[in-house]
């Protein structure tokens, strides 16, 4: 049903007024007062002239208001009716608009659900992209997932959506490839660190092997710089070990000298070597023991400091006199 509105003014209103006379009168008044200037002595006259002009303003205003009010008596009912008619028609239009909007939103949700199901099947088929699920997730804000043109006539996923997703997967392929290359480089660095630690430990004759864990920070270095850095550390450790050994030997020598230089208690008489003689019971003959003195120089072939201390204690405990000719700790 189409509603036809017919409205027209059956008789045009015409207002009769002395327009030309008013125009001429205003022109005379404007000419009179356009450049007029009053002095202080003419203050009273100026007020009188202003009062005349204000009275003229009031006349214009009164006639205008009266005529318009009279004309609006016919126009107001028509205006009110048409405004109400507009309001009623607008309400019906808004109601339909709400229904259309809701229908379209539901349709978008249905389409988005189909895209989600398509992506879930795709990720199940290609699990390497599972970590990018959040980035692949369709959104109502992206028209490619909701426009009618992105779907087939039967409402299935169309070419536009598939191409869009393939483009995203290509970008993820680049990320994964770059990550794999980085992982290979990192493994090469780890292998190089392990190999260099083992090799340089032997080359520099280190007592404490170089630990690859100590060089974990080198994974951020270029491959070409790793060997040099481990060599530098190996040299430093070699020098440190040499210094440590030197200090240990010095300390051992010092203690040995202290032990050997302690004053010895002189034996009251020389130690005698006692020879054991087997006795046979001979009634008529007495067996006598013989005593001999031992003189000599002993040279030890690399005994430990502890052994040297033990030997010295043995000599002291048995009151054996001796003198140190030479001593050395290496």
Query: Could you read off the pLDDT of 118-170 as tens digits, one per residue?
Result: 999 999 999 999 999 999 999 989 999 999 999 999 889 999 999 999 999 99
Instruction: Indicate the average pLDDT of the chain.
Output: 83
Question: What is the Cα–Cα distance from 256 to 243, expressed in whole angstroms?
Answer: 20
| pTM for the full predicted model | 0.48
Whether 171 shows a pLDDT value over 60: the answer reads yes
152-161, 169-178, 286-295: range with lowest mean pLDDT: 286-295
Looking at mean pLDDT, say which of 5-19, 40-54, 162-176, 277-291 comes out highest. 162-176
C-alpha torsion 301→305→308→314, nearest 10:
-150
329 vs 137, more confident: 137
- Residue 90, pLDDT > 80, answer yes
Question: Of 231, 224, 228, 235, nearest to 189 (Cα)?
Answer: 224
Using a CB cutoff of 8 Å and minimum separation of 24, what contacts does 79-84 make?
82/7
Q: What is the pLDDT of residues 208-218, one digit of tens each?
A: 999 999 999 99
Segment 292-304 mean pLDDT? 66
Could you say which DSSP state residue 5 is in? P
How remote is the C-alpha of 77 from its chain's centroid? 70
Structure tokens at 56: 């003229």
3-class DSSP state of 31: helix
Helices 223-260 and 305-317 pack at an angle, to 10 degrees, of 10
* pLDDT confidence bin for 290, thresholds 50/70/90: low
Can you give the residue ranges of every domain in the chain? 49-143, 179-258, 265-280+288-330
5 pLDDT band, cuts 50/70/90, is low
pLDDT of residue 53: 87
Between residues 17 and 161, the one the model is more confident about: 161
* pLDDT bracket for residue 63 (50, 70, 90): confident
């Amino acid at each position: 049903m189409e509603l036809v509105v017919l409205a027209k003014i059956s008789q045009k209103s015409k207002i009769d007024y002395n327009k030309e006379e008013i125009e001429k009168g205003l022109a005379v008044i404007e000419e009179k007062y356009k450049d007029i200037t009053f002095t202080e002595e003419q203050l009273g006259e100026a007020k009188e002239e202003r009062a005349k002009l204000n009275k003229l303003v009031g006349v214009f205003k009164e006639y205008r208001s009266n005529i318009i009010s009279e004309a609006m008596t016919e126009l107001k009912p028509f205006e009110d009716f048409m405004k109400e008619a507009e309001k009623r028609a607008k309400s019906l239009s808004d109601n339909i608009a709400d229904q259309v909007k809701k229908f379209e939103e539901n349709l978008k949700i249905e389409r988005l659900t189909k895209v989600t199901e398509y992506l879930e099947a795709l990720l199940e088929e290609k699990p390497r992209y599972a970590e990018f699920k959040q980035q692949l997730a369709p959104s109502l804000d992206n028209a490619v997932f909701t426009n009618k043109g992105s779907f087939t006539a039967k409402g299935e996923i169309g070419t536009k959506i598939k191409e869009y997703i393939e483009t995203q997967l290509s970008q993820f392929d680049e990320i994964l490839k770059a990550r794999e290359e980085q992982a290979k480089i990192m493994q090469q660095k780890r292998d190089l660190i392990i190999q260099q630690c083992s090799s340089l430990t032997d080359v520099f004759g280190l007592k404490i092997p170089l630990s690859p864990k100590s060089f974990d920070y080198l994974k951020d270095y270029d491959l070409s710089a790793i060997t040099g850095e481990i060599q530098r550390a190996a040299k430093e450790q070699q020098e440190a070990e040499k210094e440590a050994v030197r200090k240990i030997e010095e300390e051992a020598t010092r203690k040995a000298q202290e032990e050997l230089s302690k004053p010895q208690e002189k034996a009251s008489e020389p130690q005698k070597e006692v020879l054991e003689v087997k006795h046979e019971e001979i009634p008529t003959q007495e067996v006598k023991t013989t005593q001999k003195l031992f003189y000599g120089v002993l040279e030890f072939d690399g005994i430990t400091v502890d052994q040297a201390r033990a030997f010295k204690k043995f000599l002291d405990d048995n009151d054996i006199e001796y003198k140190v000719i030479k001593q050395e700790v290496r």
